[in-house]
Amino acid sequence: MIRKVKKIFTYPVLAGLLVLGLSLNYLAVEKVDAAYNHLVGKKWSSTSVNYDIAGGFTSDQKSMIKDTTNGWNRNCPTTFNYNLLTGNDWSVENIDSLGLTILSLNSSDNIIKAVTKIDTDPAIATSFSTSSSQYDFTSIARHEWGHWIHLYDDKTHQSTMYESLSKGEKGKLQTAEDIEACNYMY
Ligand SMILES: [Zn+2]
């Protein structure tokens, strides 16, 4: 069987900014506070952010959405709280990628709303266990939370913010760069 790598995320609105800030030398040699300068300013005005989970998820998937906030809440200044009817929703929709997070910014570059859509793809795992023919839901959820903080996709394959996910692949963690970035931004 050939594993299909499916793009986990697309970020059309702000992708251009990332491209402008990217060059191999720049990323290789700059300290994190310089490398993440392009992210600064675009953040939640409060570090306590409520979210809601809409219908369409299994109970295991809901648990995984909640569980995957833990690493971000522990390592970053932001805290995501499960709270009904906030307008910041997770939902299931037919999209191109496995997950898609859309951030709304106000004129002061503060994030005022975030929504995450998870694809209807039947290959996305519906329980805590992920087979070799399934996309790991925990990995998708943890990745999308990174976007809520305003982290971008990255090119480090072991990173939770890596742009693609293969079937059966799991266990990716936040990198030191992810943690440094969120702490620098907030
Ligand atoms: Zn992404």
Centre of ligand 1 from the C-alpha of residue 149, in Å: 12
Report residues near ion ligand 1: CB below 5 Å.
Answer: 9, 153
CA 98 to CA 169: how far, in whole Å?
Answer: 13
User: Number of structural domains, the chain?
Assistant: 1
CA 103 to CA 48: how far, in whole Å?
Answer: 16
Contact 90, 69 (CB under 8 A): no
**Pairing between strand 79-82 and 89-93?**
unpaired
Distances (CA, A) of 70 to 66, 73, 77, 92, 172: 8, 5, 12, 22, 14
DSSP per-residue string spanning 23-58 = -HHHHHHS-HHHHTGGGTT-EESSSEEEEEE-TT--
Domain membership of residue 133 as a residue range: 5-185
Contact 49, 88 (CB under 8 A): yes
Angle (CA) 80 83 84, round 5°: 145
Question: pTM to 2 decimals?
Answer: 0.82
Any idea what the CATH number is for the domain that residue 44 is in? 3.40.390.10
Centre of ligand 1 from the C-alpha of residue 15, in Å: 11
3 state SS of 177: helix
Centre of ligand 1 from the C-alpha of residue 172, in Å: 13
Centre of ligand 1 from the C-alpha of residue 147, in Å: 7
pLDDT in tens, the chain (186 residues): 223 355 555 443 333 333 333 322 222 233 444 456 666 678 898 999 999 999 899 999 999 999 999 999 999 999 999 998 788 999 999 988 899 998 888 888 888 999 999 999 999 999 999 999 999 999 999 999 999 988 888 777 888 888 889 999 988 888 888 888 888 888
Centre of ligand 1 from the C-alpha of residue 29, in Å: 24
Centre of ligand 1 from the C-alpha of residue 46, in Å: 23
Centre of ligand 1 from the C-alpha of residue 30, in Å: 23
